[in-house]
């Protein structure tokens, strides 16, 4: 008899688990709160949408608009914000649809794919948002240099470019680190298991 | 209607809970984590029970939901704190007489399974439960051929751990 066949017999003969639950206990457990990874992705995803959009509340928008007006950027800001909000809406819908498609009754690999897809929707939204912020910073920097060209010497221009570059990189760097940590911790196991299954399917 | 569904679920789940216990025993190594995973699987099976059409056996359907929860959905929750390791396997204490050598072998088998990765654990579990390759490949979402290849590797690995 093969070694594993012997163990299979042992496996089959194992007694029932001592922690057998009654229907009342099962009922209570079924009603309790899930702490599944999908729930966390949903909560964190929603928080990201909320936090990125509430940043505007912390900035004095009247003052910002007055500044844009001075730089002749008011049209750029207006139209680009229409585009940005349409894209935000698109991402929110996609996020919700992807989230709803996640089902524990799927095959293991499909379930993993859908979880990863949902999280990627949020990641792409965050990337888009950061890209948009960077674009505004670049445009505003160029516009302010052009507007104040007479008062500026090369040294000052260089300083403005350098300062905004550093500030942008710093913010992006901190956010990237934060994301790596957050999703790295949350999805480490899932990514590893997905790779293990996917590797198998591409090998053949 | 909801009450009917609830009662049906409770009966189905109670009857098949040993499957869930076995899955918890291979994916966790202490009692608190075992109970925590058991709770999450119960939640997931109930949440999805409305989708269970009855065109397959409940147990077959539950294997899938329970394994998905263990492999992909479960995260150690802050519900409970981690306590000591239960490698001594107190969970097998039963009043029925039980062969001592078999108990030792079972302990060795669980200890060996704990050394496998999550996917290998699922494969070996389904093998031990005598599931056909068709069901194994559908549960994992891989082709039949891949399921066989991967199963052979997992079995070899397990054998090497059991009998080095």
Residue contact B73–A186, C-beta within 8 A = no
What is the CATH architecture of B1-76?
Answer: Orthogonal Bundle (1.10)
Q: Residue B95 — very low, low, confident or very high, per pLDDT cuts 50/70/90?
A: very low
Q: Out of A139-153, B3-17, B126-140, which region has the weakest mean confidence (pLDDT)? A: A139-153
**Chain B residues 112-131 with CB within 8 Å of chain A:** 117-119, 122, 127-128, 130
- What CATH number does domain B95-164 carry, 1.10.10.10, 3.40.50.2300, 3.40.50.300, 2.60.40.10? 1.10.10.10
Whether residue A31 is contained in a domain is answered as no
Per-residue pLDDT of A51-64, as tens digits, reads: 877 877 777 778 88
Flag if A11 and B128 touch (Cβ within 8 Å): yes
A72 pLDDT above the threshold of 60: yes
**Residue B47 pLDDT > 80:** yes
Q: Any chain B CB within 8 A of the CB of A197?
A: yes
Interface test with chain A among B8, B36, B73, by most A beta carbons within 10 Å = B73
**A chain contacts of residue B98, beta-carbon cutoff 8 Å:** 15
Q: How many domains does chain A have?
A: 1
Mutating which of A1, A6, A17 best tests the B interface, going by the most B Cβ atoms within 10 A?
Answer: A17
Beta carbons of B64 and A105 less than 8 Å apart: yes
- Give me the mean pLDDT over the A165-172 stretch: 86
Whether A23 is covered by a domain: the verdict is no
Digit-coded pLDDT (tens) for A82-130: 998 899 899 999 999 999 999 999 999 999 999 999 989 988 988 888 8
At residue B36, the pLDDT reads 94
Q: Is the pLDDT of residue A142 over 70?
A: yes
Nearest CA in chain B to A37: B73
| Structural domain containing residue A123 | 37-203
Chain A residues touching residue B39 (CB < 8 angstroms)? 29, 32
Q: Does B161 touch chain A (CB under 8 A)?
A: no
What is the ipTM metric for this complex? 0.85
Write the Ramachandran bin of B34: left for phi over 0, alpha for psi from -120 to 50, otherwise beta. Answer: alpha
A134 in any annotated domain: yes
The answer as to whether A46 is a domain residue is yes
Does residue B91 sit at the A interface (CB-CB below 8 Å)?
yes
- Chain B residues in contact with A34 (beta carbon < 8 A): 40, 43-44, 47
For position B90, what pLDDT does the model report? 46
Contact status of A153 with chain B (Cβ, < 8 Å): no
In-domain check, residue A15: no
Whether residue B71 contacts residue B118, with contact meaning beta carbons closer than 8 Å, is answered with: yes
**Is 70 exceeded by the pLDDT of residue B83?**
no
Mutate to test the interface with A, among B53, B55, B67, B75 (most CBs of A within 10 A): B75
Q: Give Cα separations from A60 to A72, A111, B45, B130 (angstroms).
A: 18, 44, 49, 66
- Of all residues in chain A, the one with the smallest CA distance to B64 is A105
DSSP state of A22: P
Task: Please report the residues numbered 112 through 131 in chain A whose beta carbons come closer than 8 angstroms to any beta carbon of chain B.
Answer: 112, 115
Q: Which of B13, B18, B44 sits opposite A16 (nearest CB)?
A: B18
Contact B43, A34 (CB under 8 A): yes
**Chain A contact probe: residue of B141, B146, B161 with most A CBs at under 10 A:** B141
Q: What is the mean pLDDT of residues A72-80?
A: 89
Task: Check whether A160 has a pLDDT greater than 70.
Answer: yes
For A36-52, b/e burial (b = at least 16 CB within 10 A) is: bbbeebbeebeebbeeb
Q: Which of A68, A122, A128, A65 is nearest to A97 (CA)?
A: A122
- The closest of A128, A147, A135, A130 to A87, measured between CA atoms, is A128
A38 vs A154: CA distance, rounded Å: 53
- Domains of chain B, by residue range, sit at 1-76, 95-164
The pLDDT of residue B82 is above 60 = no
């Amino acid at each position: 008899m093969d070694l594993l066949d012997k163990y299979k017999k042992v496996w089959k003969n194992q007694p029932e688990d001592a922690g057998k639950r009654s229907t009342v206990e099962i009922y209570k457990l079924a009603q309790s709160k899930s702490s599944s990874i999908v729930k966390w992705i949903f909560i964190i995803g929603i928080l990201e949408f909320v936090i990125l959009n509430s940043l505007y509340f912390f900035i004095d928008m009247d003052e910002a608009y007055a500044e844009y007006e001075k730089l002749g950027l008011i049209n750029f800001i207006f139209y680009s914000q229409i585009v940005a909000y349409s894209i935000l809406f698109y991402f929110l819908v996609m996020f919700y649809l992807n989230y709803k498609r996640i089902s524990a009754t799927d095959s293991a690999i499909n379930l993993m794919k859908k979880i990863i897809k949902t999280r990627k929707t949020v990641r792409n939204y965050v990337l888009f948002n950061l890209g948009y912020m960077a674009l505004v910073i670049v445009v505003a920097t160029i516009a302010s240099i052009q507007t104040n060209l007479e008062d500026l010497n090369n040294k000052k221009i260089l300083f403005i470019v350098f300062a905004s570059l550093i500030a942008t990189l710093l913010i992006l760097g901190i956010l990237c680190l934060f994301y790596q940590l957050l999703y790295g911790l949350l999805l480490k196991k899932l990514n590893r298991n997905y790779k293990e299954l996917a590797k198998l399917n591409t090998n053949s | 209607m909801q009450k009917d569904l609830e009662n049906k679920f409770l009966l189905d789940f109670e009857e098949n809970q040993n499957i869930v216990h076995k899955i918890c025993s291979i994916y966790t190594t202490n009692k608190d984590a075992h109970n925590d995973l058991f709770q999450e699987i119960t939640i997931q099976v109930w949440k999805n029970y409305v989708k269970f059409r009855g065109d397959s056996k409940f147990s077959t359907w539950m294997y899938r939901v329970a394994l998905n929860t263990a492999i992909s959905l479960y995260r150690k929750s802050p519900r409970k704190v981690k306590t000591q390791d239960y490698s001594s396997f107190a969970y097998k204490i039963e009043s029925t007489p039980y062969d001592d050598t078999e108990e030792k072998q079972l302990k060795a088998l669980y200890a060996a399974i704990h050394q496998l990765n999550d996917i290998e654990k699922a494969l070996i579990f389904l093998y031990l439960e005598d599931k056909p390759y068709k069901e194994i490949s559908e549960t994992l979402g891989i082709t039949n051929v891949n399921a066989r290849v991967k199963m052979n590797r997992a079995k070899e690995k397990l054998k090497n751990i059991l009998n080095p």
